[in-house]
Amino acid sequence: MTRDESLLQAAIEHGFDPQEEIKVGGKYTPILLEGNIAYVAGQIPRVGNTVRFVGVAGDTVSLDEARRAAATSAVRALLLVRNRFGTLDMITSVPRIGVFMRSAARPISRGKAK
């Protein structure tokens, strides 16, 4: 299975319509290209017009929901790249990924991603 096929499968599993344009909120540039490096702006778990998960991880959002929110956001970022460049095949590395989440004051298992 190619990268693009894997992405399309993941997109469908997360509720995205692969033919639909990824909607961005606000006025920002979702992808900035500098030389051969593409900087992708932070993403939220939005599918279409709906933000799928809203709340505090470990409080109003379960750990499983927080994981799905992170995965949905990652798929969204990859769809933006694929839509901009036509394929994921040109990616040779991902030098940095930043993740931000709001979590409950009590400890949760942040480091146990699946």
> Of the candidates 2, 58, 8, 47, which has an alpha carbon nearest to the alpha carbon of residue 25?
47
Place of tokens 């799905």: 68
Containing domain of residue 10, as a range? 3-85
DSSP 96: -
The answer to whether residue 78 sits within a structural domain is yes
> Quick one: tokens of 83?
């839509």
Q: How many domains does the chain have?
A: 1
- As a whole number, the mean pLDDT across the chain is 89
Q: What is the pTM of this model?
A: 0.86
Q: What is the mean pLDDT of residues 97-112?
A: 74
**Would the pLDDT of 113 be above 80?**
no
The answer to whether residue 114 sits within a structural domain is no
**Lowest-confidence segment of 33-37, 61-65, 80-84, 105-109 by average pLDDT:** 105-109
Indicate the SS3 state at residue 40: strand
The answer to whether residue 41 sits within a structural domain is yes
> Quick one: tokens of 101?
């989440």
**Would the pLDDT of 38 be above 80?**
yes
**Would the pLDDT of 9 be above 70?**
yes
